[in-house]
Amino acid sequence: MTNDIPCGSRIYAPENSTRTRSPGSERESPGQLTTTVYYTTVDAAWRPDTVWRYRLGSGESSERVYHEADDRFWLAVGRTRSNAYLLIAAGSSITSEVRYAHAADPTAQFSVVLPRRDGVEYSVEHAVIAGQDRFLILHNDGAVNFTLVEAPVEDPARQRTLIAHRDDVRLDAVDALAGHLVVSYRREALPRVQLWPIGPDGNYGEPEEISFDSELMSAGLGPNPNWDSPKLRVGAGSFVTPVRIYDIDLVTGERTLLKEQPVLGGYRREDYVERRDWAYGDDGTRIPVSIVHRADIEFPAPALIYGYGAYEICEDPRFSIARLSLLDRGMVFVVAHVRGGGEMGRLWYENGKLLDKKNTFTDFIAVARHLVDTGLTSQQQLVALGGSAGGLLMGAVANMAPDLFAGILAQVPFVDPLTTILDPSLPLTVTEWDEWGNPLNDSDVYAYVKSYSPYENVTAQKYPAILAMTSLNDTRVYYVEPAKWVAALRHAKTDGNSVLLKTQMHAGHGGISGRYERWKETAFQYGWLLATADSDRYGGGQGNDLDGAAPA
């Protein structure tokens, strides 16, 4: 529901929709007040499937602009930074299609930029080159790590390549300003940003990467809503560098530090060490490993290894105040950038999904063994952490290499994937088939998922201590998955290590709400991790009487 504030009336979504998902409003033209509202509604599976248009003050009902019939595709609506065009983006996990219309026309008809083709993804940005409207199209058609082209708005198929495909660089995004392009990309498992000036004659100048003073600095764009802004806002941070916000003068290149994340308690960056290491998978693949610890630590030390490895999500270096609690207690924090994520490009993702999903698990095990073999930690001091799809990873490695870990913490873990993706009535199942495969139609997929599903592969063997966290109101990974997994582990295991299940009764997939309640939850988890990895100092984590108190 939307309120029309000047006249006090209420505008309701159409009766055949469920509820408004992501409202968006557009300018009629630069400088004018908004008189048209575009918004999406969702279907019974909470998929944004329809875009509507409402003319404020018209007294008319909302007009349906576009409906997406394919259950795999989700819709979003917005405008270009220039305010010149409206865009409706339809996307599945592997395919996309964009429609555009002139923002100045409140009755505009939308046209397709490029017709959808299975497996081809693209995004669209508007730029003005030598006074001419151009679409900047980032696509993966014949370019697995994406390529950037420009094309006339009136003929998007007539393209000119601006940035060719590279095997070692993954293009993530392009943003257009009045006189510059900003390209976001990945190289060597780190996000980077490049400035590319546009001359008045339409020629592009020399691109320049925005560099920082740390090997593991993650850089990305901040909010830059203004088309003709003389400055670019960027953010940067690392495991030991609190988040910094800069403005960069687009003419002089001068960098102004606007803000740095405050850290209390006398934090000094030089007291900590961050570094990049590389492990080798079973097939010889180099796996990036990020490591952070106090500079005065002695090895082998208690270590926490974290992994995710799904949906092309990148686990980039970032600062965490809470994590200092672990580091200052002598623990090493490690991120295993396993296949299934996107850190090393699109093929890194492709080689960790569908019928190659087991690479995610074997990569994680390889990194864990590397940490032990190099003397950073020992098997008795190593604990693992992962959530959601990373919880699937936790369940898989618990079955495959239980002797490698002292403990495993699985947050809202996706540990019964076969049952879930066999049920298309669940909110995410149909869209998830592009990630895991469709076992309803493919017997090979059924057999493969069953062969690694944590629940299906619990066996009579010794397991490390396990803490599973779930939420009663989680609609992404239902609480029954970790509950039945824990029950199976307790029934089958042959050791005396504890297997604990903690269920939040008033939380969802993202965990409990409220700042202080989240701190308490983090303290509970950190207490268990420390007690399990360093039982001589923080013993008690394996007892069934763990009450959630933070360690002293």
Cβ partners under 8 Å of residue 515, min gap 6: none
Buried b (16+ CB within 10 A) or exposed e, 434-469: bbbbbbeeeeebbebbeebbbbbebeeeebbbbbbb
The rounded Cα 93 to chain-centroid distance in angstroms is 13
Residue 474 catalytic? yes
DSSP structure class, residue 60: P
Which of 214, 320, 356, 509 is catalytic? The answer is 509
Answer yes or no: are the C-beta atoms of 507 and 513 closer than 8 Å. Answer: yes
Residue 388 catalytic? yes
The alpha carbon torsion through 438, 420, 94, 177 (nearest 10 deg) reads 180
Q: Which helix (H) or strand (E) holds 517?
A: helix 515-533
Q: Which helix (H) or strand (E) holds 304?
A: strand 303-306
Q: How many Å apart are CA 93 and CA 119, to the nearest integer?
A: 9
The rounded Cα 463 to chain-centroid distance in angstroms is 30
417 upstream amide cis, omega within 30 of 0: no
The secondary structure of the chain in percent helix, strand, coil, rounded to multiples of 5, reads 20, 35, 45
Q: Strands, DSSP E only, in 356-478?
A: 382-387, 407-411, 465-471
The residue to which tokens 């780190």 are assigned: 190
Answer yes or no: are the C-beta atoms of 121 and 94 closer than 8 Å. Answer: yes
Which of 123, 388, 471, 535 is catalytic? The answer is 388
Residue 509 catalytic? yes
Burial class (CB in 10 A: 0-12, 13-18, 19+), 320: middle
The residue to which tokens 């390529």 are assigned: 147
Which of 172, 363, 474, 534 is catalytic? The answer is 474
DSSP characters over 132-199? EEEEEEEE-TT-TT-EEEEEETT-TTS-EEEE--BTTEEEEEEEE-SSEEEEEEEETTEEEEEEEEB-
DSSP structure class, residue 212: -
Q: What are residue 79's phi and psi, to 5 degrees?
A: -125, 160
Cβ partners under 8 Å of residue 239, min gap 6: 216, 272, 274, 290, 292, 317, 318, 319, 333
Catalytic residues: 388, 474, 509
